[in-house]
Structure 1
Amino acid sequence: MAETRKRVLVVGGSGYLGQHLLEGLSLAAGSDRYDLAFTHHRPIPPAELVDAVSPVLPFRVDLRTGDGFDSISTAFGQPDVVVNCAALSIPRSCEMDPAAAMSINKPSSLVSWLSSFNNNNSLLIHLSTDQVYEGTKPFYKEDDEAVPVNMYGKTKLAAEQHIIANCSNYAILRSSIIYGPQTISPVTKSLPIQWIDSVLKQGQEVNFFHDEFRCPVYVKDMVHVIIALTKKWISDGQQMQLVLNAGGPDRVSRLQMAESVARFRGYNHSLIKSVSASSVNRGVISPADISMDISRLIRVLHINPCSFEDGVRSTLEANDSS
């Protein structure tokens, strides 16, 4: 008798990471194949995505109210793994409407729905952010105090605290800037490497911060991390309570990010102007240095994310071939 396939639900599956994850999960073969479903907030799901990762079940869900989760219970059943990629992730938008940011970013309705199954048979993998850190030193570790300086970071920290208090089987991934190729159904938000490439290609002089540091992570590495956690739960069957920094291995400034693109493309480096982050009012406080130590991620999952240079190369090569 064939073994029952495990069910994976991607919350926010029509977003950037969600689409890449669904694509990665759909390519699994043999005993690693999954029954897939995803939630979306748009009136209809992206047809290109549904066609590309078929078979997949799309569900329209309002994360603020929980409307739509009952339909998942009926048509899909209890998922073995839920990956929460949904968020209001633009810091300025969170600053302008903190109530909306908290209602979306703190997954109260999702956690309540999972609790309704009255068992611990689902693993919740939740995407958090490096912006839970204050930004006053390099290479934060997971056990360092989380002191977010803006509303986005505060809502994501509230989400972590809610999950830790109400779930017994979870993995929280504090991701940095996620970059990589465009999605199957193109997202409208600006993608960082593609944006840098486009402005430098036009021969424009552009300002980049030399004193704001992150550990950008290639999107395919994030997919590998999530799939590794999924396999770990399914194979071991042991509940996990993990908080992991999920960044790339390199601490880079916005200036260094632009220089990497220029090196690959052969653009004139004089177009890249070095400025301080303090010289620009973005309407939101942005932490200066939230680079992360990812040694725990490497130790637990045996995954070594690619270097920023390699990720830029893969991103631009994919962009050229599309």
Structure 2
Amino acid sequence: MAERKRVVVVGGSGYLGQHLLEALSRSAGDHRVDLAFTHHRPIPPPELLEAIPAVRPFRVDLRTGEGFDAVAASFGQPHVVVNCAALSVPRACETDPAAAMATNVPSSLVNWLLSFGNSNYLLVHLSTDQVYEGVKSFYKEDDETIPVNMYGKSKVAAVQFIREKCSNYAILRSSIIFGPQTISPVSKSLPIQWIDSVLSQGREVEFFYDEFRCPVYVKDVVNVILSITKMWISDGKKMQLLLNVGGPDRVSRLQMAEAVADFRGYDHSLIKSVSASSVNRGVVSPADISMDISRLVELLRFKPISFRDGVEATLGISNSS
């Protein structure tokens, strides 16, 4: 019998982490995978444990590394670690740069993996499109990273650290991730649900016409991670990947709101077009960090769904739940 593969999702109680655990649990039977996740809150989400009873929760402080030894002692050395944990609110990173660096540069996680004394693991690390400067459209992975805020700077530092220390890694530069709510609802505002909520109230809302992203549907991000994980487990060859993970559409905040309004039938006059320069958000935000995803599409032979189809999937699920 082949050895069961052990997968740990760091930050598994967060938005992407929960969606990933749900998908991994469905495919685990086919691939002989044992699942664990780390969480920072005092107790793991009860709804998540109820929905995925076979998953093992561990409380870990990512900044200090406290708790990782318990994972090794009870669960064993993982074959794949997916790091979804981050301080991802740009303004919070700007306010507390030390916390941003301590959380977003996964030094304690990498040092724990190095302590096993071998390279028989793959680290999948979630990065961000905010590593790019934002002065052109459709950035490629090889373009220079010139972040304009602390969030982006901390994520650039993370990539440098991982590349220096790890033998096998897949770094995924994600755009805005959107989709349905998680098994255990997260407290942070979800972009499509927020737009839907404010427009449903029938009041005028301002949206930027000159800030562009390539929002990506959460299940597409999950599928990218699953594909990379299966690739690693099946052949175990050296892997050093850096991929843009965005949706196929370059859209402004205004166009995002218009897509929600079209699906719901809201009055477009509620959507007010303004420049991003007209609002002080307490942090510099890059204007255009749309990404070229041709490398991702070519490597994994899959294409993320369009933004409008993603909105329909997100709000359609919301309607039926």
- Shift in Å at residue 236 of structure 1? 1.5
Counterpart residue type for residue 251 of structure 1: R
Contact 2:90 2:150 in 1 (8 A): yes
Match of residue 39 from structure 1: 38
TM-score, with structure 2 as normaliser: 0.99
* Structure 1 residues 149-228: aligned runs within 5 Å: 149-228=148-227
The one-letter code sitting in structure 2 at the alignment partner of 1:39 is T
Unpaired segments ≥5 residues, structure 1: none
- Measured after TM superposition, the shift of residue 51 of structure 1 is 1.3
Once residues 302 and 121 of structure 2 are traced to their aligned partners in structure 1, the CA distance between those partners, rounded to angstroms, is 23
Alignment of 1:45-84 (within 5 A): 45-84=44-83
- Greater alpha carbon shift after TM alignment, 173-182 vs 23-32: 23-32
Q: Distance in 1 between matches of 2:154 and 2:58?
A: 25
Amino acid across the alignment from 1:268: D
Say which SS state the counterpart of residue 27 (structure 2) adopts.
Answer: coil
C-alpha separation in 1, matches of 2:206 and 2:174: 25
Q: Secondary structure at the match of 1:257?
A: helix
Query: 3-state SS of the aligned residue for 1:51?
Result: helix
CA distance, structure 1, for counterparts of residue 275 and residue 259 of structure 2:
19
Q: Which amino acid aligns with 1:128?
A: S
Deviation at 1:30, TM superposition (A): 4.2
Which residue does the alignment assign to 1:120?
Answer: 119
Paired amino acid for 1:170: Y
Q: Deviations over 1:238-273 (max 9, x none)?
A: 011110000000000000000000000010000000
5+ residue gaps, structure 2, are none
Q: What secondary structure does 1:125 align onto?
A: strand
Residue in 2 aligned with 1:105?
104
> What is the match of residue 290 of structure 1?
289
- What residue is the counterpart of 2:244 in the other structure? 245
**Contact 2:249–2:307, Cα closer than 8 Å, also in 1:** yes
Deviation for aligned residue 1:6: 1.1
**For residues 93 and 33 of structure 1, what CA distance do their matches in structure 2 show?**
40
Measure the CA separation in 2 of the matches of 1:193 and 1:285: 23
Amino acid at match of 1:44: I
1:29–1:75 Cα change, 3 Å: closer
Identity %: 75
Give 1:25's aligned residue: 24
1:6 and 2:5 equivalent? yes
Q: Would you say the 8 A contact 1:26–1:33 is kept in 2? A: no
* 1:106 CA drift (Å): 0.3
User: Following the alignment from structure 2 to structure 1, what is the Cα–Cα distance between the partners of residues 36 and 224?
Assistant: 19
The structural deviation recorded for 1:153 is 0.2
Amino acid at match of 1:309: R
Residue 4 (structure 1) shift: 2.6
- Call closer, same or farther: CA 1:234–1:290 in 2, change over 3 Å: same
Look up the match of 1:130.
Answer: 129
Output the CA distance in 1 between the equivalents of 2:30 and 2:88: 35
CA contact (8 A) 1:25 1:33 kept: no
After TM superposition, what 4+ stretches of structure 1 lie above 4 angstroms from structure 2? none
**What secondary structure, in the 3-state scheme, does the structure 1 residue paired with 2:269 have?**
helix
Question: C-alpha separation between the residues in 1 aligned to 2:69 and 2:242?
Answer: 29
Does the 8 Å CA contact 2:28/2:34 hold for their aligned counterparts? Answer: no
Aligned-residue Cα RMSD (Å) equals 0.7
C-alpha distance after superposition, 1:204-258 (max 9, x if no partner): 1000000000000000000000000000001121011110000000000000000
Alpha-carbon distance in 2 for matches of 1:80, 1:274: 48
1:100 partner letter: A
Further displaced range: 4-13 or 213-222: 4-13
TM-score of the two chains, using structure 1 as the length reference = 0.99
* 8 Å CA contact retained: 2:139, 2:290: yes
Letter in 1 for 2:271: I
Which amino acid letter does the alignment assign opposite residue 198 of structure 2? V
Per-residue CA shift, 1:98-119, capped at 9, x if unaligned? 0011000000000000001111
Describe the SS at the equivalent of 1:28.
helix
Q: Mark the CA change 1:29 to 1:45 in structure 2 (over 3 Å): closer, same or farther.
A: closer
Is the partner of 1:86 in helix, strand or coil? coil
Aligned-residue offset at 1:29: 5.4
Q: Does residue 1:271 correspond to 2:297, yes or no? A: no
Q: Which amino acid aligns with 2:169?
A: Y
Distance 1:200 1:88, change over 3 A: same
